[in-house]
Chain A
Amino acid sequence: MAAVSAPAIEAGPGLLRQLLRRRTVMIGLVVLCAVALLALLAPWISPFSPSRLSIANRLKPPGPVYWFGTDEFGRDGFTRTLYAGRLSLLVGVSVVAFACVVGVTLGLVAGFFRRLDTPIARVIDAMMAFPDILLAIALVAALGPSLATVIVALGIVYAPRLARVVRASTLVIRELPYVEAARALGVPTWRILTRHVLRNLVSPILVQGTFIFAYAMLAEAGLSFLGVGVSPEVPTWGTMIAAGRQYVGQADWMTLFPGIAIVLSVLSLQLVGDGLRDLLDPRLRKDL
């Protein structure tokens, strides 16, 4: 009850203003926007085609022409890093969307309907007993490796995390007087769920979604690195590092730049997620 009765900041323009006042969040947002813009504008700003082969220029170190050097086929590292970002961001966004649909539905149903709570809570606990990469590997192995299955697999892996948070908040909101009042007025259950419960869950979903975005990017890179995710020919930061592994000590730039791209993206997401959590969770706010 305490979490709900304390003054919470609603997700909206006010929240953005408060967020931007925090230096770490500001840095995170700037880096995240820069990474996203570079990835989105890749076809217009990259100097070469990501698949352009140039055997004469293979394994060239970073320089004025090839800023991030070239790989074993003479492909431009900078161009491929930008293009790989498109895919990594796409995977992150899609996994968050999938996890939201599945996780929020499960969490809402478990938290609101007492009879369904125990079985769903047990499934959530069991799903969380599997280490994320291992479960994702098993799911990709079962469904067959492709971009879509990586998204579905990671969505299944991370949905229980969201479901747990949503369930916990729903259990509290369900008992609040305005939900009781809505019930007494004969408001249909689906309307109570969407209008009264779900709207109050935006904050925890937003926070968890940001972290899931970061974890999904890390996990996708791990799967691609292991060769069990997307095809090795598709440029993702993970496949680029996997290719560079063969040239450690000879062409270190092949692993360096995609790695930095992953770290920057994940770090910026964590900074934003952390700021959001501090701001939206009244227990963590210093001003209270």
Chain B
Amino acid sequence: MTRYVLQRFAGMIAVMFVVVTVVFVIVRIAPGDPASVMLGPDATAQDVASLRARLGLDRPLVVQYVLFLGQLARGDLGESIFLNRPVLSALADRAEPTFFLTIFSLLIASVIAIPVGIYSAYRRGSLFDQATTTLAMLAASIPSFWLGLLLIQFFAVRLGVLPVSGYGGPGASLATRLGHLVLPAVALGVVSSALILRFTRASMLDVLGDDYIRTARSKGMGEFRVVMKHAFKNALIPILTVLGLTAALLVSGAVVTETVFGLPGVGSLVVSAVLRRDYPVIQGALLVVAALYVIINFLIDMLYLAVDPRVRY
């Protein structure tokens, strides 16, 4: 077990190291000088030189890389050019809507997809199975921002039952803030449910044909118990994996969905940073999101230990 944990941990560190290097390279592949691009055509040579010095761009690439690693080791993601504040605190300020949006979307997606996926597999080839499989494919083909707009048109504009956009304004209560997340979470959750549904169905199909399921049935065990206790428990590993994957995909979907619903989250911060060429913010957001993905994957690997005793040995 210790070997398994150490192997996964070493793998996570190695991937994180490459992630950091990729982020470092992305900002430096910009054609021309990033400082000139950030300041725009009206900037004086002195302004450009001073920004280059501030960002460390005037040093050799290797030195820049070493400094970048040192900076990250201290938990410093640099400073936003336009917000004039540390990137980490700018991201932390915007984290709440993105965090809740991701959690709610994942909940909605799981509540729809897991039971439907289990039943689809159980009734393989039935009308229900065919209909849900087709619907899952349809859901995976819908851009979340477009579904978001349709939901706004119907629930917010036509029926007027839910807020159109924003996060309730400064000082809004938690309930008001969460109320603003209903439509975006539904938009993201429905679209993401497709992947979870297909994985749940496929992994259930894999185990439902196994010998121990036949044995359980032949012992006269009830169908619900056979499916939930014997089959679902053994199908859980791929489902957990896809839940982790979906969480990471939801962060990506949140970038676009937050823009549709005017949510002041990390996604909208990134989009405004791109439009203003605020490279430190883009770099910081990329690092944080990729690190989250790698950490979630590591945690899922650790969860395997609890779910599947075979992994422990």
Contact = CB atoms under 8 A, between A and B. Distances in A.
Nearest to B290: A129
Contacts of B145: 221-222, 225, 241
Contacts of B143: 218, 221-222, 225, 241, 259, 262-263
Interface in B242-296: 248-249, 251-253, 255-256, 259-260, 270-271, 273-275, 277, 279, 282-283, 285-286, 289-290, 293-294
Contacts of B84: none
A43 to B, nearest CB: 27
Nearest to A153: B26
A228 B275 CA distance: 7
Contacts of B270: 134, 137
B146 A241 contact: yes
A131 B248 contact: yes
A123 B274 CA distance: 25
A104 interface: no
Nearest to B140: A270
Contacts of B275: 227-228
Given A255-B146, A262-B146, A133 B29 contact: no
A218 B142 CA distance: 8
A221 B286 CA distance: 21
B217 to A, nearest CB: 22
The interface size bin for chain A is 35 or more
A219 to B, nearest CB: 9
10 A-B pairs with the lowest CB-CB distances in the bound complex, closest first: A131-B252, A126-B18, A249-B157, A266-B141, A267-B141, A259-B146, A141-B274, A142-B30, A129-B290, A129-B293
Interface in A116-149: 122-123, 125-127, 129-135, 137-144
A122 B14 contact: yes
A143 B279 CA distance: 12
A249 B255 contact: no
B138 interface: yes
Q: Determine chain B's interface SS by DSSP, over half rule.
A: helix
B29 A143 contact: yes
Nearest to A24: B134
Interface string B153-165: 1000110000000
Contacts of A259: 142-143, 146, 149-150
B282 A225 contact: no
Contact of B251 (A134, A244, A249, A270): A134
Interface of A: 24, 122-123, 125-127, 129-135, 137-144, 214, 218, 221-222, 225-228, 241, 244-245, 248-249, 252, 255, 259, 262-263, 266-267, 270-271, 274
Given A142-B27, A144-B31, A252-B153, A133 B255 contact: yes
Interface in B139-197: 140-143, 145-146, 149-150, 152-153, 157-158
A161 to B, nearest CB: 12
A248 B183 CA distance: 15
Contact of A228 (B152, B153, B274, B294): B274
A87 to B, nearest CB: 16
B137 interface: yes
B19 to A, nearest CB: 5
A66 B157 CA distance: 25
11 contacts: A122-B14, A129-B294, A134-B285, A139-B26, A141-B282, A142-B279, A225-B259, A226-B274, A255-B146, A263-B143, A266-B140
A142 B29 contact: yes
A143 B141 contact: no
Given A129-B15, A259-B143, A266-B141, A137 B255 contact: yes
A131 B282 contact: no
B13 to A, nearest CB: 11
Contacts of B19: 126, 129-130
A2 to B, nearest CB: 15
B271 A228 contact: yes
B137 A271 contact: yes
A187 to B, nearest CB: 34
